[in-house]
Amino acid sequence: MIESDELLSIRAAELYYEEDKTQDEIGSILALTRWKVGRLLAQAKASGFVRIEIVHPRARRLPVERRLRETCGLADAIVVSTSGVEDQDELQSRTAQAAADYLATLRPVPRTLGISWGRTLDDVSRHLHDGWAGGVDVVQINGGVSLNRRAGTAASTAVTIAQKGGGHATLLPSPAILERLETKRAIESDRAVSAVLDLASNADAYLFSAGAADATSVLVDSGYLTSDDVAGLVRRGAVGDVVGRYVDGAGAIVDERLDERTIGLPLESLRAAQLSIAVIAGAAKHAVARAVVASGLCTVLVTDEETALHLIENHPSVPDSEGQRGTA
């Protein structure tokens, strides 16, 4: 009879969800009391026979968000639906939109927001709506002067976010990575730079993304690193970069020498922050996302469903510096 109950619950679910019948009506169709029908329906839902999905570019996945928050100990998690996503761009765009939405609904509104730069952040800036905040000061947290045609993207990201938020942007007037340690120390001690870094380290909130450890990285594209450099980092365990710094699966700096030449907020400041929002989407970034979450670099993660499920399944709370390398 357990078998026939299952079948009945399917028939009931069909009538209830597809034909919009009332439980009472279903009762008389299937010759059952309406209470039995109610229980059958509950059973069908509990057994997962009834799948309810919300299909919309801006739909989120609340149950996944909850699981992600819980298994990864995040303060908050925003997971966008991947259903109906056609390409990588669509996914990026949806995630950026969600990040923008999240930023706009933050209460209290941060007075100072530290941001990194890159493709993702730029996307977020474009998806924000005018007046998303009543006066935010935006400050760059890592070196933002590009070496090539892309110059200006980093600046425009910051400026856009600030303008739309009714505040102004403070740029970090420095390259991301210097060639010599001495130059880095020199530039870092320059008031124009150190003042910005001070401001950055006192921001109310941080918003940053992460890059995958491969040749498509903005750091390669901007000329700071060569593909070979990145390949070398990967060999040493790098899974991606966070605000310009390459980390391994456990979120530790891969190459101290390189890191010392990198200008920007140290990762420890992100870890210590009250509110730091990471925006990371796409299969290529699963490994970095895991490192970011596992090592506590963010308190809030905005990501896509697939990445979220990957994180949940791979319990990032038990980091493993081997593992995920090369998943991209």
Partner DNA sequence: ACGCGCCGTGCTCATATGAGCAAAGATCCC
Partner DNA sequence: GGGATCTTTGCTCATATGAGCACGGCGCGT
Task: Tell me which residues touch DNA (CB under 7 A).
Answer: 16, 22-24, 32-36, 38-39, 41-42
Strands 276-279 and 137-140: unpaired
44 binds its own copies per the rule CB under 8 A = yes
In Å, what is the CA distance from 282 to each residue of 33, 46, 150, 169, 272?
49, 31, 22, 29, 26
- Alpha carbon distance 11, 30 (integer Å): 8
Q: Give the one entry of its own copies, DNA, none that residue 24 binds, where binding means its C-beta sits below a cut-off of 5 to 8 angstroms depending on kind.
A: DNA
Please choose, out of 12-20, 115-123, 158-166, 209-217, the segment that lies near its own copies by the rule CB under 8 A. 12-20
35 binds its own copies per the rule CB under 8 A = no
DSSP string for residues in 140-196: E-B----SSTTTTHHHHHHHHHHHHTTS-EE---S-SB-SSHHHHHHHHHSHHHHHH
At residue 264, what are phi and psi to the nearest 5 degrees? Answer: 145, 180
Please choose, out of 11-19, 211-219, 243-251, 254-262, the segment that lies near its own copies by the rule CB under 8 A. 11-19
Nearer to DNA, 22 or 47 (CB): 22
Nearer to its own copies, 48 or 189 (CB): 48
Q: How far apart are CB 62 and its own copies at their closest, in Å?
A: 4
18 binds its own copies per the rule CB under 8 A = yes
Q: How far apart are CB 124 and its own copies at their closest, in Å?
A: 17
Query: Is 301:70 a contact under the CB 8 Å cutoff?
Result: no
Q: Which helix (H) or strand (E) holds 80?
A: strand 76-80
The footprint of its own copies on this chain (CB under 8 A) covers a number of residues equal to 25
Q: How far apart are CB 114 and its own copies at their closest, in Å?
A: 28
Q: How far apart are CB 165 and its own copies at their closest, in Å?
A: 19
Among 36, 60, 164, 245, binds its own copies (CB under 8 A): 60
Q: How far apart are CB 2 and DNA at their closest, in Å?
A: 7
Q: How far apart are CB 97 and DNA at their closest, in Å?
A: 24
Q: Give the one entry of DNA, its own copies, none that residue 19 binds, where binding means its C-beta sits below a cut-off of 5 to 8 angstroms depending on kind.
A: its own copies
Structure tokens at 245: 């710094």
Mapped onto helix, strand or coil, the DSSP state of residue 304 is strand
Query: Is 296:75 a contact under the CB 8 Å cutoff?
Result: no
223 Rama class: left (phi>0) / alpha (psi -120 to 50) / beta: left
Other C-beta atoms closer than 10 Å to the C-beta of 89 total 10
Q: How far apart are CB 9 and DNA at their closest, in Å?
A: 11
Nearer to DNA, 24 or 190 (CB): 24
In Å, what is the CA distance from 279 to each residue of 223, 237, 274, 289?
23, 22, 16, 9
DSSP assignment letter at 167: S
62 binds its own copies per the rule CB under 8 A = yes
Among 55, 134, 189, 257, binds its own copies (CB under 8 A): 55
Binding positions for its own copies, rule: CB under 8 A: 6-7, 10, 13-15, 17-19, 44, 48-56, 58-63
